[in-house]
Structure 1
Amino acid sequence: MNRLAPSLLATLLANRNDEAAARATLLDAQARADALEPWLRAFVHRPDRYDFGDARARPLAGVPIGVKDLADTADMPTRYGSPAYDGHRPERDARIVAMIRALGGTVFGKTATTEFAWRGPAATVNPWNRAHTPGGSSSGSAAAVAAGIVPLAIGTQTVGSIIRPAAYCGVVGYKPSYRAVPTEGVHPLAASLDHVGFFARSVEDVAIAHALFVEGAPQAVESEAAWRDHFPRGTSALTLGVVRTPFWDELIAPHQRSSFDASLRKLSGGGARIVELDYGADLPQMREATLTILAVEAYRAIGDVAARAPALMSEHMRLLLAEGEAMPLARYQQALLLQAQVRAQSAALMQGCNALVTLPASGEAPHGHADTGDARFCAPWSLMGAPAVNVPSGWSDANLPLGFQIVGAFGDDAKLLRVAARIEGMLKFEGRVVTD
């Protein structure tokens, strides 16, 4: 079996000032992708060859990074998951892609996305069981990291498209606060909700991505000591607020309920104070507002393409666009008003807790590939634009991963990542290796 991609931190430190090591990292990723891609189908495009920069010059030199095929790449096709864009080659890179290249990273390939990041599924399968979905819409990015092909991949989330596939594939997913990472050059689904974020195999690795792409602090990863100073982990007791949504009793699978409660016991045993919150916001109303904004803005972003090529749109997309076209303007404006209100109140809604904890999904990845899963457990935090992290927390009886979602206040991303790193350490998830 080809070697598993090491952690992002290990890759950065090994490659620094060592061009041979950086080249070896890329070759290992190619070999692993060649072995797994015939059945995994995480990528829709990989280049025949890679340009390779000076390992001494930039922090991400030699690091292979998967980029969701919603983000423009001038040197690779960009299809947005839709046959309406077969053969499309953008004129310039998306901002996130330009940032990767400026930092010396290698765009290893374009990862599969659902149709325009909505529900029309990609061809990717779950790396732990090929009969199950990897989730969506960032299907390929989650699967590529879970399979150990790349240490970091770019995803997007409008409702649940980073957190949910991260949970289904057993990796860390990090959705930063709204617009913390630029969205220019990323095809919109709903501009008021769209986020760019990251997949990796540890909270530390997504925190490195945060330092590089959000804080713009490449010096933070010049050495392990520099990184430890930049990303200190507190020692004071955590207070974690449990948010059990109104959908809890109706939708949560028994194995997910048991895993979540077991995680709370571990956290309590590790010294965290667990508080059951009566959350001070109307979560069903927030979900409805999310779906209203989504429908209207999807129609604005994709309606013209659908009108030109209706036969190339899935039934999922046609229904969404029809809903958006028919949506009363007053309802959309009310949804935007609610969004502004909950974002402004996000710190107060934490009720003095260091973070909120809840579920990323109703259970393990659903069987089959026609459905990418239910996003309602992510919708409130996407509407709010609050930062969220999924950490793997266990395995179902069917040997599929289960997740644990951690949410912070809007704009308080660095604090959330420090809390999530401590939670990850207390949960002690037992990782596994995807094989042929």
Structure 2
Amino acid sequence: MSYPLGLLAVHRAFREGTLSPADYLATCIQRADEVEPWLKAFCHRLPADQLAGGEGPLAGVPIGVKDIIATAGIPTTNGSRVYADHVPDQDAPIVARIKQLGGIVFGKTVSTEFAWRSPGPTVNPHNPQHTPGGSSSGSAAAVAAGIVPMALGTQTVGSVVRPAAYCGIVGFKPSFGAIVRDGVHPLAQSLDHVGFLTRSVEDAAFAFGLLADGADAGAAAQAVEGDVLPAASSLRLGVVRPPIWDRVSAEQNQAFEAALDTLRRAGASVEPLALPERYWQGFEAAEIILAAEAAAIFNELVTQHPDLTSPQLKELVVAGNAISAPRYIWARQLQASLQQELPRHLSGLDGILTAPAPGEAPEGLAYTGDASFCALWTMLGVPALTMPIARSARGLPLGLQVIGGFGEDARLLRTARVVEAQLAN
């Protein structure tokens, strides 16, 4: 048996009896012991004797949980010194769901402070001199390093998609509200999403089938394994290069264009999609919404704990407090208007293709990278997924972002599986 295995491959191996949960868990523990001294993906790991799962489709599967997601009896620090000793009494519903399906909370993965911009110690598994991205830093690194087959992340701007792209794995942000957010420390309630970091698109599809609100977990594996995927030649894909495309590196642009060419050769229709100019006001609107809502959440905290909160969080609160009510209302109205209009622009398309980030992970750990290429799609609440497509000259991953219509997560995942298969050929 070769490692690391993906989520669905582990499930199949357990089901078919070719791998025992105990042996697999031991391999994951061994891998963590080997790499954690320098990777630093986890802020808290459970002892081996506490790693017990239950019955169900996730039975015996170890999963990383981002440190802003509540875990009963396990420290949940939110990446903050203010919460250094915080141990919740209850699991967040998404964690309770994982346990209900037999999954194992392997440990808490490092998050930036409150999922904002003050980074933790996690490094990029491909090159420890580079950031893994944020804010789901530890989740992306843990999956990419082969410690766990899946980890939970959150995204308010680009915190699932960007670190997944930097670490060379799949990051899937479902539609807004598709995953219950109770028990997840908020950054901006109108933008916060829960997402998955996995090793393949089919793993993300399996996770979504198990964990989405109202999902039929019993049919999830069968739904993915038995799904009849569309032919590549039937796909109609729109290409969006936002006005900030000049930030895209030559290597990222080359990888992006090569991916488009591959899809065209497979028979897919791949054509530019010109969104109305007002969509690009969404960058400003997203910043306004995030800052205003974050200020309401963190104002008291930074006032009471000035020595325990970062300059980045304080600056966010100051910016949010400076936003007038009319500006916030304008941003929320624009968000609603663009969301309402988007289905018309996506009509007839199976998805949008764009970049997940400007290029490879930046050098150094102080800056987790530019999230702008995710911001609009997060504000619109639509499903977004990144997959690895190439490596830079320095051996760092480069990704491709695929976007779908709101509530059309299953369709997006099918499209992305076809795209992934074609780009792997």
* TM-score normalized with structure 1 length: 0.94
Shift of 1:3: 6.5
Tell me, in whole angstroms, the C-alpha distance in 1 between the residues paired with 2:19 and 2:349: 47
For residue 165 of structure 2, the aligned residue among 160, 164, 167 is 167
Q: Tell me the distance in 1 between the aligned counterparts of 2:341 and 2:33.
A: 48
Mapped pair 1:418 → 2:397 = no
CA drift of 1:59 comes to 0.9
Aligned partner of 2:236 among 239, 247, 254: 239
Provide the residue aligned with 1:135 in structure 2. 133
| Matched pairs, number | 422
**1:46–1:3 Cα change, 3 Å:** farther
Distance 2:68 2:253 in 1: 33
**How far is 1:129 from its partner?**
0.3
Q: What displacement does 1:365 show?
A: 0.2
Structure 1 distance, partners of 2:142, 2:289, is 30
Specify the alignment match of 1:311 in structure 2. 307
Mapping of residues 196-215 of structure 1, within 5 Å: 196-214=194-212
Separation in 2, partners of 1:326, 1:227: 48
Q: Which residues of 2 match residues 330-409 of structure 1 at below 5 A?
A: 330-409=326-405
In structure 2, the residue matched to 1:434 is none
Question: Equivalent residue of 2:401, what SS?
Answer: strand
% identical equivalent positions = 49
Shift of 1:281: 4.8
CA distance change for structure 1 residues 98 and 14 in 2, over 3 Å: closer, same or farther?
same
Counterpart position of 2:84: 86
What SS does the corresponding residue of 2:50 show, helix, strand or coil? coil
Name the structure 1 match of 2:267. Answer: 271
CA distance in 1, matches of 2:274, 2:209: 34
Letter in structure 2 aligned against 1:208: F
Shift of 1:271: 1.1
Local SS of the residue matching 1:32? helix
**Do the aligned partners of residues 165 and 226 (structure 1) sit closer, same or farther apart at CA in structure 2, a change above 3 Å counting?**
closer
Report what 2:258 is aligned to: 262
Q: In structure 2, what residue type is equivalent to 1:246?
A: P
Could you say if the C-alpha distance between residues 288 and 226 of structure 1 is closer, same or farther in structure 2, counting changes exceeding 3 Å? closer
> What residue number does 1:248 align with?
245
Residue 227 (structure 1) shift: 3.7
Secondary structure of the structure 2 residue equivalent to 1:346:
helix
> CA separation of 1:51/1:42 partners in 2, compared to 1, >3 Å: closer, same or farther?
closer
- Aligned equivalents of 1:411, 1:302: Cα separation in 2: 31
2:290 pairs, out of 288, 291, 294, with: 294
Which residue identity lines up with residue 36 of structure 1 in the other structure?
V
Shift of 1:84: 0.8
1 CA distance for matches of 2:359 and 2:100? 39
Name the aligned partner's letter for residue 415 of structure 2: V
State the Cα deviation string for residues 257-303 of structure 1 (Å, max 9, x = none).
Answer: 11111111111111111111211353431011000000011111222
Inter-partner Cα distance in structure 1 for 2:274 and 2:190: 27
Provide Cα deviations, 1:110-148, integer angstroms capped at 9, x if missing partner: 000001000001110000000000000000000101001
For residues 21 and 41 of structure 1, what CA distance do their matches in structure 2 show? 27
Are the counterparts in 1 of residues 53 and 61 from structure 2 also a CA contact under 8 Å? no
Deviates most, 302-311 or 156-165: 302-311
**What TM-score results when the alignment is normalised by the length of structure 2?**
0.96
Larger CA deviation: 252-261 vs 10-19: 10-19
C-alpha contact (below 8 Å) 1:66/1:107 kept by paired residues: yes
- 8 Å contact kept, 1:50–1:106: no
Q: Which moved more, 1:126-135 or 1:268-277?
A: 268-277
Residue pair 1:4, 1:149 contacting (<8 A) in 2 also? no
User: What is the identity, as a one-letter code, of the residue corresponding to 1:167?
Assistant: A
- Amino acid paired to 1:310: P
**304-313 or 377-386: bigger deviation:** 304-313
1:339-385 Cα shifts (integer Å, max 9, x gaps): 11111222112142110000000010000001000111000000000
| Separation in structure 2 between the aligned mates of residue 232 and residue 42 of structure 1, nearest angstrom | 36
AA paired with 2:3?
L
- For residue 39 of structure 1, what is the amino acid of its counterpart? W
CA distance in 2: counterparts of 1:50 and 1:347, whole angstroms: 47
Q: Distance in 1 between matches of 2:262 and 2:111?
A: 35
Establish whether residue 22 from structure 1 lines up as the match of residue 21 from structure 2.
yes
Which one-letter code corresponds to 1:355 in the other structure? Answer: G
Q: Distance in 2 between matches of 1:234 and 1:155?
A: 29
Over 4 Å off, 4+ runs: 17-20
Measured after TM superposition, the shift of residue 220 of structure 1 is 2.3
1:137-183 per-position Cα deviation (integer Å, ceiling 9, x unaligned): 00000010100111110000000000000100000000000010000
Partner Cα separation in structure 2 for residue 101 and residue 19 of structure 1: 23
Q: Structure 1: where are the runs of 5+ without partners? A: 430-436
Tell me by how many angstroms 1:18 deviates: 5.6
The amino acid of 1:401's aligned partner reads P
Residue type at the aligned position of 1:389: L
2:218 corresponds in structure 1 to 219
Cα RMSD, aligned residues only: 1.6
2:325 counterpart (325, 329, 333): 329
User: 1:52 — aligned with what?
Assistant: 52
**Contact 1:3–1:28 (8 Å) recurs in 2:** no
Match of 1:100 in 2: 98
**Change beyond 3 A, Cα 1:150–1:399:** same
Paired amino acid for 2:24: T
Q: Is the 8 A contact 1:142 1:165 kept in 2?
A: yes
